[in-house]
């Protein structure tokens, strides 16, 4: 009887081991299948993500090509009508207009770069400081309640001269040293390398400054902050009056601003700093395809009646 009980216990022990092994096999198979399914899902998601990212990039480049045609056609129409004027009422100036792509839309914004202060104009082609634009940038900083010394730091960055408070010795003393560029800005983001331009300062000035313009400020498109930077005499009230006038009837020539009360006296002081058209545009575009969102910026300058030159293109 004891022998039978021992045999029964042995069998039960073997059954327990077999059950445990079976459970382990099931667990291993479950883990293996789960890992396989997860890996397949990841691979599929990666493939779809790569596909959508590639489609988004293609869409962004297509948007820039469309922008080139838009600004070229605008110039063609202006020349046909014998009126070289660019205003905020024109089709290209409408912010965030949708452009269809497959089953979604891109959102495209074209901005007149001559509506801003061109910081590369702080130095003339001959390498000299252009006091007009340096003073204008200093006023802009003052009106934005920022340190006006930043205007000199930017001048030092782009000037070939070795003189100034923010040249190579300053940048060489930083924890991560680098050289002063001593050449013109290639992108707006480059300003972040200049002394005094913190991320907060950059955010405050980025919509009012440019690296490429027509060489003057377009009074038909410039915001109030830029207009007021042109002269100490151009007050808050005068800027508002000019904007109200151009909203109803854009200026056909720069001399036209003299019709606005108070500008007859100011015009001689700023006449060589203003215009009513542009030859430089920035492009901002955003597209979302499924779960992928991509954005890009581009700078177009100059333009002809058939095309526009891409100065740079950057996917953000």
Q: In this predicted model, what pLDDT tens digit does every residue of 4-13 receive, in sequence order? A: 555 545 545 5
Report domain extents, the chain. Answer: 119-208
Distances (CA, A) of 136 to 52, 243, 268, 308: 45, 19, 16, 29
User: Band of the pLDDT at 58, cuts 50, 70, 90?
Assistant: confident
pLDDT in tens, 271-287: 999 999 999 999 999 99
> Is the pLDDT confidence value at 251 over 60?
yes
The reply to whether omega before 156 is within 30° of 0 (cis) is no
pLDDT at residue 88 is higher than 70: yes
The CA-atom distances, in angstroms, between 281 and each of 28, 114, 176, 299, 301 are 61, 8, 34, 6, 7
* φ/ψ bin of 102: left (φ > 0), alpha (ψ from -120 to 50), beta (otherwise): left
> What's the CATH number for 119-208?
1.10.40.60
Tens digit of each residue's pLDDT (9 = 90 or more) over 173-212: 999 999 999 999 999 999 999 999 999 999 999 999 999 9
Please state, in angstroms and as integers, the Cα–Cα distance from residue 99 to each residue in 92, 95, 316, following that order. Answer: 12, 12, 19
What is the per-residue pLDDT across 106-116, written as a single tens digit (0 to 9) for each? 899 999 999 99
Beta-carbon count within 10 A of 99 CB: 15
148-176 CB burial, b ≥16 within 10 A, e <16? eebbbbbbbbbbeeeebebbbeebeeeee
pTM for this entry: 0.84
């Amino acid at each position: 009887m004891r022998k039978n009980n021992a045999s029964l216990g042995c069998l039960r022990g073997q059954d327990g081991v077999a059950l445990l092994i079976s459970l382990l096999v099931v667990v291993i198979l479950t883990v293996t299948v789960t890992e396989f399914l997860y890996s397949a899902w990841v691979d599929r998601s990666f493939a779809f993500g790569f596909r959508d990212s590639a489609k988004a990039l293609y869409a962004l480049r297509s948007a820039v090509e469309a922008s080139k045609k838009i600004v070229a056609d605008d110039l063609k129409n202006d020349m046909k009508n014998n009126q070289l004027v660019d205003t905020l009422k024109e089709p290209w100036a409408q912010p965030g207009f949708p452009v269809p792509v497959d089953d979604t839309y891109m959102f495209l914004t074209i901005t007149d770069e001559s509506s801003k202060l061109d910081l590369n104009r702080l130095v003339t082609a001959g390498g000299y400081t252009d006091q007009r634009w340096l003073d204008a940038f200093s006023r802009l900083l003052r009106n934005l309640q920022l340190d006006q010394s930043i205007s000199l730091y930017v001048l030092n960055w782009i000037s070939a001269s070795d003189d100034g408070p923010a040249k190579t010795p300053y940048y060489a003393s930083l924890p991560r040293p680098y050289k002063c560029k001593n050449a013109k800005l290639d992108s707006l983001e480059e300003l972040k390398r200049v002394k005094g331009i913190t991320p907060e300062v950059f955010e405050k000035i980025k919509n009012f400054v440019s690296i490429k313009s027509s060489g003057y400020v377009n009074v038909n498109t410039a915001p109030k902050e830029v207009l007021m930077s042109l002269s100490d005499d151009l007050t808050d009230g005068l800027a508002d009056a000019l904007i109200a006038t151009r909203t109803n009837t854009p200026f056909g020539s720069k001399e036209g601003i003299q019709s606005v009360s108070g500008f007859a006296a100011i015009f001689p002081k700023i006449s060589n700093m203003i215009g009513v058209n542009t030859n430089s545009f920035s492009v901002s575009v955003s597209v979302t395809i499924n779960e992928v969102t991509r954005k890009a910026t581009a700078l177009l300058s100059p333009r002809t009646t058939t095309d526009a030159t891409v100065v740079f293109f950057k996917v953000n």
